[in-house]
Amino acid sequence: MVKPKIRKQELVIDRIWHDGGEARPQPITRVIAAAVTENPFAGGYVDDIAWFMDELEPLAQSLVDELMEFMTGRTLPIESFGKAAMCGEDGEDEHAAMWHAPAGAVLRREIPGVKAGVPGLHTVGHQGERLDLPLGCIFGRNVRSHYDSMGLVISDAPRRNELLLAVGVSTGGRARSRLGGVTVEEALSA
């Protein structure tokens, strides 16, 4: 089988003290680990592509390990997670969608306390296009305060024949959420 050929990796760190209103005593920390790889299916239709998801799992493990290493010892624990993928113009949406199974499985396995499915997004894009990584609460569905996203732009990726693959975590929801819905505490006790 074909192993992913990694061209580059990036770690993006975002700390938010406020989004209007008073500053929080501890910032919400959001982190994305991303890799840019060759897309072995770019340039033409290939029927049998599902096997490549197994080949992507070690890369997903490596990126989640990088997230977990960064988050170790942080004051606030992980409360949100997500995954996203973009293929370059010579690929197709299904190529980006291959990322969801391996990335979701590793995130759910490696982050303590997970009860929810991992939100995800996949798309076709061009070099330098913004990829929005959706974030959702790890403890349960419908925790409105944790519906969020984090943008990722890698100026030279994805090239026409590449995949941009990303996983992300956050220590909280939006900085000043106030739209009601299920709370983290309610999700934890459910």
| Strand ranges inside the chain, DSSP E | 6-16, 28-38, 80-87, 120-124, 131-137, 148-152, 162-170
**What is the CATH number assigned to the segment(s) 6-189?**
3.30.1330.110
Q: pLDDT confidence of 177, banded at 50, 70, 90?
A: confident
Q: Tell me the C-alpha distance between 47 and 165, whole Å.
A: 21
Residue type, 44: G
Average pLDDT over residues 3-14: 96
**For residue 186, pLDDT beyond 90:** no
Number of helices and strands in the chain (H, E): 4, 7
Looking at per-residue confidence, does 180 or 93 come out higher? Answer: 93
| Secondary structure class of 12 (helix, strand, coil) | strand
Query: Given this model, what pLDDT does residue 22 score?
Result: 86
pLDDT above 90: percentage of residues in the chain: 82
Query: Given this model, what pLDDT does residue 178 score?
Result: 86
Average pLDDT over residues 144-167: 97
Q: pLDDT confidence of 84, banded at 50, 70, 90?
A: very high
Mean pLDDT (the chain) is 95
Domain regions of the chain by residue span: 6-189
Q: Which of 63, 66, 117, 67 is nearest to 85 (CA)?
A: 63
Q: Which of 12-26, 47-61, 146-160, 163-177 has the lowest mean pLDDT?
A: 12-26
Query: Given this model, what pLDDT does residue 183 score?
Result: 87
